[in-house]
Amino acid sequence: MKFEPVITSFLDTDLYKLTMQAAIHRNHPGVSCKFLLTNRTPDKKLNREGYEWLCLQIASLGELKFTEEEIEYLKGKLGYLGSDHFQWLRTVKLRPDKEVTIVPEVTDGMYDLTITAYGDWETVTLYEIPILSLLSEAYFRYVDTKWTINGELVAEYVNGIAKTENLNIAMEEYVNTVGHQHAGLALTDTYGTPNYLKQFDEPYVGWYVGVRQDSGNPEEYASTIADWYREKGYNDKVICFSDSLNVEKCKHLKKVCNEIGIGCIFGIGTNLTNDFDTKPLNIVMKLVECGEGHAIKISDNIAKNMGDERTVFRVKKELGYIEKEWNEGDESNRW
């Protein structure tokens, strides 16, 4: 197999990864953690060729380092991180041979993978975006190869992009960067929205411009949030919908929000950047252990819960969490 690394720069990631890394390095240096990849579309597996390609690509991440050109670029964009942080970035090195495990389960020649990353939180957090990107590319490079562009000439009009969260594109194409957290949105489905709202109080309610809906029934959520904000005396807050959207869903939710009297915006990821007829993989790589404990997420959709099952069950019981059924909540078939 002819090998050529796909990811050749640490900047080929989302802006928030580097700002979050800085926060971790400053506040929790040396804390051990574990990230786990979850494939919510388990019917989509790799063949042997795709598996071998993926292993080589992940191994090649060990060759990455921040170049002086990249450090200078980051200083210009993220100078608030401080000179000490940029000095530390020069020492950052991934060690996939020691930090990443890929365990295949082979059935009828197809590979179902368990991928984990272990190590210091401040370093292994950088695996998330590359591994997700490489796994998706492996699938469409070696397994689902029937997708086409319908014979159309495809051109990238980079000058038409005002801002991007990918730092590598931003540096190479002289485009501004923007992190999605910059909008100041509170993600409420961390321990279930009802439990989150019980703790979401001033001054934070005033500081955040709105909330983000990323799981569960969006129409029920909109109604709940609109009533909650009115009780708090706010009429200028917004909901950012971001759960498996397309343009038609956005138009419908805009109408719903207009009728109940709350502003809305939309975060379209997969459908906007990959709107082929072929269904994409639904994959995430999340923190599941940190320090000496488990890291969990209890969303508004049971299929999006993350972390140790026993811990999730115990916390749900302590919180009085109530599961809700939603007929569009099947994460294996969202698009």
Q: Tell me the pLDDT tens digit for each residue of 267-289.
A: 887 666 666 667 778 899 999 99
pLDDT at 179 over 50: no
pLDDT at 136 over 50: yes
- CA–CA distance, 115 with 132 (Å, rounded to integer): 10
At 293, give phi and psi (nearest 5°): -130, 175
pLDDT at 30 over 60: yes
- CA–CA distance, 215 with 125 (Å, rounded to integer): 23
Task: Please say whether the beta carbons of 290 and 36 come within 8 A.
Answer: no
- CA–CA distance, 101 with 167 (Å, rounded to integer): 27
Residue 174: per-residue pLDDT: 47
Residue 3: per-residue pLDDT: 85
Residue 259: per-residue pLDDT: 97
pLDDT band at 16 (very low <50, low <70, confident <90, very high): confident
Whole-angstrom CA distances from 101 to 55, 71, 268 are 10, 29, 31
- CA–CA distance, 128 with 100 (Å, rounded to integer): 11
**Chain CA centroid to CA 53, Å:** 23
Q: How wide is the angle at C-alpha 180 spanned by C-alphas 178 and 182, nearest 5°?
A: 70
- CA–CA distance, 85 with 240 (Å, rounded to integer): 32
Whole-angstrom CA distances from 309 to 104, 234, 305, 312, 321 are 22, 37, 9, 5, 15
Mean pLDDT along residues 188-197:
91
- CATH entry 3.20.140.10 includes domain 15-159+276-319: yes
Per the DSSP assignment, residues forming a β-bridge with 166 are: 14
Multiple choice CATH, 169-266, 3.40.190.290, 3.20.20.70, 3.10.20.30, 3.30.479.10: 3.20.20.70
pLDDT band at 147 (very low <50, low <70, confident <90, very high): low
**Chain CA centroid to CA 20, Å:** 13
Percentage of residues in the chain with pLDDT exceeding 70?
83
Mean pLDDT along residues 173-200:
74
> Residues 12, 296, 85, 64: is their CA dihedral positive or negative?
negative
pLDDT band at 171 (very low <50, low <70, confident <90, very high): low
- CA–CA distance, 237 with 263 (Å, rounded to integer): 6
Q: pLDDT by residue (tens digit) across 55-114?
A: 999 999 999 999 999 999 999 989 999 999 999 999 999 999 999 999 999 999 999 999
CATH 3.20.140.10 domain position(s) in the chain: 15-159+276-319
Find where tokens 């140790």 sit. Answer: 308
CATH 3.20.20.70 domain position(s) in the chain: 169-266
Q: What is the mean pLDDT of the chain?
A: 87
Residue 238: per-residue pLDDT: 95
Q: Which of 217, 227, 225 is CA-nearest to residue 249?
A: 217
Q: pLDDT by residue (tens digit) across 234-245?
A: 999 999 998 888
Task: Please say whether the beta carbons of 298 and 286 come within 8 A.
Answer: no
Q: Which of 243, 283, 329, 244 is CA-nearest to residue 39?
A: 283
Percentage of residues in the chain with pLDDT exceeding 90?
67
3-state secondary structure the chain: CCCCCCCCCCCCCEHHHHHHHHHHHHHCCCCEEEEEEEECCCCCCECHHHHHHHHHHHHHHHHCCCCHHHHHHHHHHCHHHCHHHHHHHCCCCCCHHHHEEEEEEEECCEEEEEEEEEEEHHHHHHHHHHHHHHHHHHHHHHCCCCCCCCCCCCCCCHHHCCEECEHHHHHHHCCEECCHHHHCEEECCCECHHHHHHHCCCCHHHHCCEEEECCCCHHHHHHHHHHHHHHHCCCCCEEEECCCCCHHHHHHHHHHHHHHCCEEEECCCHHHHCCCCCCCCCEEEEEEEECCEECCEECCCHHHCECCHHHHHHHHHHHCCCCCCCCCCCHHHCC
Rg over CA atoms, the chain: 21
